[in-house]
Chain A
Amino acid sequence: MDGTGKGGAMIEIAGLEVVFASRGDRVRAVDGIELAVAEREAFGLVGESGSGKSTVLRALCGLAPVSGGRATIAGLPPPRRRDPAFARRVQMVFQDPFSSLHPRHTIDRTLAEPLVIHRLGDRRERDRQVEAALTDVGLDPGFRFRYPHQLSGGQRQRVAVARALMLEPQVLLLDEPTSALDASVQAEVLNLLSRLRRERGLTFLMVSHDFAVIDHMCDRVAVMQGGRIVETLDHAALARRQVREDYTRRLLEASSAHAPLALQEEGGA
């Protein structure tokens, strides 16, 4: 089934606004953004805290209120409370692997639950799929009956990725998927995500504060500030540092403090 909208875009956002009202204050977290992500594209949103980047993701999947404009993924609007069709197309990986897995559920239950909800397969078929999913994200099937607190941060995030893929969605929304991880573990998880995208032809919409991570993963990047997109860049432009906005330039400069230095090849060591 072809789930894309008219223009061939998998994700379409037009004039999206998200306004949170709390105690009389109205906070405009997302202030009219436009973007279209093609099928199988990886698109990144980068910005500082409060730029509204995570809110865009949450609005897309119904976890934040859409106050104005339109947003669709695979032709579907954000679900209200329960929407099985949406769940089978779009899944999300959260930032903090310590809080995105239920502390009292075994890994087995966490991974099998989406199949149970959608009544996919019998018990034996589900068992097989859970083991396959663990292997696919590089975890030993021996992890299956452990609890989240018995896993390291990187292993938890692998489980979260496996859970998001249980229903074989077309779109993955990634909310800072590696910012709670050590650098070496981040590399492993990013490699895993890239491989899964290649193998399954996934569309990614990824959010991060880390320009280097976003650029490594995505074909195009939108820079967000104060709820708006200030600039959209592709990989080639970023490599040549062809940026228009001062804000983008400042972000790039600041993130270069974290960039690795060129290593000298080992000689006579």
Chain B
Amino acid sequence: MANVLPSPWRAWLTSRSPRSRRQAWLGQLYLGWLALLRNPLALLGLAIVLALVLAAAAAPLLASQDPLAQSLPDRLLPPGSPGHWLGTDEFGRDLWSRVVHGARVTLYIVLLVVVTAPVFGLAVGTAAGYFGGLVDVVLMRLTDVFLAFPRLILALAFVAALGPGIENAVLAIALTAWPPYARVARAETLTVVRSDYIAAAQLQGAGSLRIITGHVMPLCLSSVIVRITLDMAGIILVAAGLGFLGLGAQPPLPEWGLMISSGRKFLFDQWWVATVPGLAIFVVSLGFNLLGDGLRDVLDPRSAGR
């Protein structure tokens, strides 16, 4: 599998003496990719995540019907019915189309959380670890306060205060999701901050901001990325949970949690209404988890390098 690239490209990527920054960087990326290729489960995870992205991007093409179009004569059709291979819900909406469009909502939530919580956690954690002393105490106690609340409860409180809706759900999730990143980043920072290359950078007159962003953060990044992928399943579940409780996405938006919630009423007689979006959540969560495990093996600085 590793030999799919034509050899001049491979030689360029694996060259021992790259001739430019970009070549060196792409070479490292290629080596990581090769390591990922050796882990079939991680590849399965990657395939699932790519499928999610693809489904979200091409939702109008993949969906057979309008996800919002109601058709009362066709309500609660079982899977395998003509024109509705996954069946329909209580308003006669096509479940396949709704699940595919729901991928968009899920991906939207995931992306919004990814660009907020880990970034904030990383900044807090590295600053606490690098400066130590009072800064460390204040930042980490604040982190502990957030960490002490059960996640869903805190998110519920935020949404209750801010009002229901997808953006507020994301904000609530982000506000409850950052503390673990801060912890990971701080632990990682403490292991590197005493090292000679940080001392060397200080002696060269580098300021704290440069050292934190240029020297410390790249070394924390791999643990944080791994943590993100492993966390993704939890984030999707909390988003679905909020949707289920009616505090996240609002009907008629095809959000998977919301879909399960509305299917609950028919769980015993029309099981597919809740099961289909449930399966979607399960598969996507599993995909992120598998990818996270694989990335841990590839990115962990302790296993790579030397």
Which of A42-50, A143-151, A237-245 lies at the binding interface?
A143-151
A147 lies within 8 A of B205 (CB):
no
Cα distance A263–B82 when bound, in Å?
Answer: 95
A144 to B306, CA, bound (A): 18
Q: Which residue of chain B is the closest to A97 with respect to CB atoms?
A: B196
A-contacting 9-mer, from B20-28, B119-127, B144-152, B227-235: B20-28
B200's contact among A88, A94, A142, by CB below 8 Å, is which? A94
- Given A145-B23, A147-B28, A163-B200 contact (CB < 8 Å): yes
- CB pair A167 B23 closer than 8 Å: no
Instruction: Indicate with 1 or 0, residue by residue over A74-99, a CB within 8 angstroms of chain B CB atoms.
Output: 00000001111011101110111001
Whether the pair B204, A117 counts as a contact (CB closer than 8 A) is yes
**What residue of chain B has the Cβ atom nearest to residue A58's Cβ?**
B199
* Shortest distance between the CB of B16 and any CB in chain A (Å): 7
Contact of B206 among A88, A99, A109, A117 (CB under 8 A): A117
Q: Are B203 and A142 in contact (CB under 8 A)?
A: no
Q: How many whole Å from B205's CB to the nearest CB in chain A?
A: 4
Residues of B within 8 Å of A149, CB to CB, are 305-306
Q: Taking beta carbons and an 8 Å cutoff, which residues of B are in contact with A?
A: 16-21, 23-24, 28, 195-197, 199-208, 210, 214-215, 218-219, 301, 305-306
Tell me whether A83 and B17 are in contact in the complex, defined as CB-CB below 8 angstroms, given that A92-B200, A94-B196, A100-B197 are known contacts.
Answer: no
Q: Is the beta-carbon distance between A81 and B203 smaller than 8 angstroms?
A: no
Q: Determine how close the nearest CB of chain A comes to the CB of B215; give it in whole angstroms.
A: 6
- Distance of A63 Cα from B214 Cα, bound (Å): 20
Residue pair B206, A145 in contact (C-beta under 8 Å): no
Residues of chain A contacted by B210 (CB below 8 angstroms): 117
Residues of A within 8 A of B202 (CB): 62-63, 81-82
CA distance in complex: A104, B222 (Å): 11
Chain A residue, CB-CB nearest to B200: A100
- B204 and A99 within 8 A (CB): no
**Which chain A residue has the least Cβ–Cβ distance from B24?**
A145
Contacts of B17 in A (CB 8 A): 140, 142-146
CB of A154 within 8 A of chain B? no
For B195, the closest partner residue in chain A by CB is A99
Chain B residues with Cβ below 8 Å from A147 are 24, 28
Sorted nearest first, the 5 A-B pairs with minimum C-beta distance are A87-B205, A142-B17, A100-B196, A145-B24, A145-B18
Bound-state CA distance A96–B301 (Å) is 18
Q: Is the CB of B206 within 8 A of A94?
A: no
Supplied contacts A81-B208, A83-B205, 9 more A-B pairs, CB within 8 Å: A63-B202, A102-B197, A104-B218, A105-B215, A118-B205, A145-B20, A146-B18, A147-B24, A163-B204
Q: Shortest CB–CB separation between residue A129 and chain B, in angstroms?
A: 14
A82 in contact with B205 (CB, 8 Å): yes
* Distance, CA A83 to CA B203, complexed state (A): 8
Give the distance to chain A from B252, nearest Cβ to Cβ, in Å. 48
Q: How far is the CA of A114 from the CA of B197 in the complex (A)?
A: 13
Known: A63-B199, A94-B200. A104 touches B219 (CB 8 A): yes
Question: Are A146's CB and B203's CB within 8 A?
Answer: no
Residues from chain A with a CB closer than 8 A to the CB of B215 are 102, 105
User: Which chain A residues border B20 with CB–CB below 8 Å?
Assistant: 145
How far does the alpha carbon of A106 sit from the alpha carbon of B28 in the complex, in Å? 11
Instruction: Decide yes or no whether A61 CB sits under 8 A from chain B.
Output: yes
Whether A101 sits at the interface, judged by CB under 8 Å, is yes
Q: Please measure, in the bound complex, the distance between the C-alpha atom of A103 and the C-alpha atom of B28, giving whole angstroms.
A: 12
